[in-house]
């Protein structure tokens, strides 16, 4: 279980992540994230696609040195 939070664009990412994982989310803390219901807007769909791509990324491929 997790509570997601963010500011500005991060608030939108937190919101989409929470919506896509409602069974694992205890809450959302949004600062300047706009209204909740973006499901039918093109921007929401684009953001949701970016979040899905990020969720599929294999972080071991990145060099953190």
Please determine, for residue 6, whether its predicted confidence score (pLDDT) is greater than 80.
yes
At residue 14, the pLDDT reads 87
Span 26-65, pLDDT tens digits: 988 888 756 555 556 676 777 778 888 878 877 776 766 6
Structural domain for 50, as ranges: 2-61
- Report the domain count for the chain: 1
Structure tokens given for 42: 């093109």
Please determine, for residue 17, whether its predicted confidence score (pLDDT) is greater than 70.
yes
pTM of the model: 0.50
At residue 65, the pLDDT reads 63
**Could you tell me what percentage of the chain is helix, strand and coil, using 3-state DSSP and rounding each to the nearest 5?**
50, 20, 30
């Amino acid at each position: 279980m997790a509570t997601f939070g963010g500011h500005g664009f991060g608030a939108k990412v937190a919101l989409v992540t929470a919506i896509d994982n409602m069974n694992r989310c205890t809450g959302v803390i949004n600062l300047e994230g706009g209204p909740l219901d973006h499901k039918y807007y093109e921007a929401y769909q684009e953001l949701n696609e970016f979040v899905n791509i990020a969720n599929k990324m294999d972080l071991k491929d990145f060099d953190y040195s």
